[in-house]
Structure 1
């Protein structure tokens, strides 16, 4: 977790330990900021950012999305009850898009809002990451900017849009990122394990092996006893004559 993220989510931690304090709404881990879009490398795309309001006693009043330098924002469709501002970076490209709620249009607890951005041709690469800041009416800021470095999703994951799943992930891009355009987790890589039927066969073989070994041992002892008895009889007969 970055230092910036720790500072921003500190109100969540400290408030939860006080009586009548801010509490996170109960819900599945999937209730995070997500980016959705049907993208084709080299083609323009329409991206949608789904932002849920996860605090129980505060509303979402502002959303800021950082725009990767790989793409350009062509337009931001108007959203009723929200004012939009696009910030242009030094290279002439949009560096971030910010939406601020007008009174009475905040995102209520347990509700969500979708923010749309149209971008120019998307690059032919594995994925794009959109760090996002969500500001609540009580001053709490949730920084959705944590990278996923393994199969387990972090507490505040950055929205990731996979463009070309067949491309090799760049350094810092997790191969377990969400699938392109769906916001769903990609299937985990296969684990080297024995098939169930093979394991069952091995268990059956091992369970049968012990009785077979015991039976073979008894048979060997019996055969040895028979040989010894036969030799003794032959020896006894010779002394009697």
Structure 2
């Protein structure tokens, strides 16, 4: 019984550590939430930026919006302690978005920290953007640049490929689907895809529950027959 208990504890420790590492690795880069939206619709995009350095803070975040997939309207939510600037580009070919004709679009958003607002080691910040109507495309790749106080610039610009391992510096990607009756709402998608770390915690909870059930079964089998 004692050896079984020790082996179970080892299994629990390994499983929990694996889940924690997996969740940490999956959430360590710049991401966009939700990860999916509807073509032609409007949505709130949240760019989550974690600080990955132990000895420097994140002082600037730049997000590039592709000019070949213009978004008609962009507005940004103020972030305390950060200034924000948008850059517009004249489109080579006007794009029809509903009843409007788009001749120029926002192609870059830059957030800059003032004073103590920079993202410190072990912390993250979220930057909200209202966007729409979204283009008729399969996905939008938002290339992002993260500038640290030591001058280092991390370029989150690599495009993940289907069926291949995630690159070292993946760009945030928003998948787009056609508008159908079965299409999930933006709120539903946001809850479902908000954070892979949440999934990791759920898996860890399942591991703990399963091991508790094993211990309960062993205890039941070893009860004296007279009880």
Question: After TM superposition, is the score higher than 0.5?
Answer: yes
Unmatched 5+ stretches in structure 2: 1-23, 92-103, 180-188, 197-227
Alignment counterpart, residue 33 of structure 1, candidates 30, 34, 53: 30
1:165 shift after superposition? 8.3
What is the DSSP-based 3-state SS (H/G/I as helix, E as strand, rest coil) of the residue aligned with 1:28? Answer: helix
Unmatched 5+ stretches in structure 1: 1-26, 167-179, 186-241
CA deviation profile, 1:50-105 (whole Å, cap 9, x unmatched): 00000110000000000123213431111111000001112221110000001000
For CA contacts below 8 A with separation 6 or more, give which structure has more relative contact order: 2
- Within 5 A, what are the aligned runs for 1:81-230? 81-91=81-91, 92-149=104-161, 150-164=163-177, 181=190, 182=193
Q: TM-score, normalised by structure 2?
A: 0.59
Distance 2:45 2:60 in 1: 18
- Within 5 A, what are the aligned runs for 1:55-94? 55-69=53-67, 70=69, 71-91=71-91, 92-94=104-106
Larger % of strand: which?
A: 2
- The answer to whether the Cα contact below 8 Å between 2:74 and 2:106 also exists between their aligned partners in 1 is no
Q: TM-score, normalised by structure 1?
A: 0.56
Distance 2:124 2:178 in 1: 28
Distance 1:129 1:64 in 2: 13
RMSD: 2.1
